[in-house]
Amino acid sequence: MQDTRSRDIADGQEQNLARNAKSDAPATMDAEQKRRLAHRIAAEMPGLRRYARRLERNPEEAEDLLQDALERALRKSHGWRGGSLAAWLRRITFTVFVNRRARPQREEADIEIDGVLETASPPRQEERLACRDIADAIDALPREQRLALSLAMRPESSYEDNAQAAGMPVGTFRSRLSRAREKLRETLTAPHSPAADWHIT
């Protein structure tokens, strides 16, 4: 059932790409450029869908991610400066994925610090406040540090894989991840923070 729905969604996306490109692509692009862009993006969709499904294991969530990424690609098409369109689309897809994951629900928050996963499903008020503190602390990080931290949350991911996905050298990725973790420790272990009792180290 999910695969059938996914195929239906995919067919609709591919049929509508050209029409969406006419309204969403930058005004500086003429009609022929918009048509070519839509066709090129459509040609990349099978590979982009496989990439989305690696990020989101749930097929329906993967299709939502793909749709959001395609819409963003059309809005931001002026940011593509040539080169590999597939790589550019994957970066956009991953950015959308990270932005979705960087805002945990208030009722539940997952955060990995030095490889230790702390999961909260809080039944009490103080734990809800702690979860909110964690979510706010992650959102307050600079975008580059939030990206590094979100990548590190992926199971069975290596520094090399995460650095490649983020489009940066391994040393840069490790440095940003280290700064993100240190900033979280400072924020979440402050005496006034409800998360201080969680002993995040």
Most confident among 50-59, 64-73, 98-107 (mean pLDDT): 64-73
Residue identified by tokens 């897809």 is 93
The answer to whether the beta carbons of residues 71 and 64 sit under 8 Å apart is no
Q: Rounded to the nearest 5°, which phi and psi values hold at 141?
A: -65, 150
What pLDDT score was predicted for residue 29? 60
Domains of the chain in sequence order: 2-101 (no CATH), 109-198 (1.10.10.10)
Q: What is the pLDDT of residues 87-137, one digit of tens each?
A: 888 888 888 887 776 554 333 334 443 333 334 343 445 545 555 666 677
The answer to whether the beta carbons of residues 91 and 167 sit under 8 Å apart is yes
Q: Rounded to the nearest 5°, which phi and psi values hold at 101?
A: -80, -20
The answer to whether the beta carbons of residues 138 and 149 sit under 8 Å apart is yes
What pLDDT score was predicted for residue 170? 93
Q: Rounded to the nearest 5°, which phi and psi values hold at 24?
A: -95, -25
Cα separation, 198 vs 85, in Å, equals: 44
| pLDDT, averaged across the chain | 68
Stronger pLDDT, 67 or 56, i.e. the higher one? 67
Q: What is the pLDDT of residues 141-186, one digit of tens each?
A: 888 888 888 788 766 678 888 888 888 899 999 999 899 888 877 8
What pLDDT score was predicted for residue 158? 84
The count of other CB atoms within 10 Å of the CB of residue 47 is 12
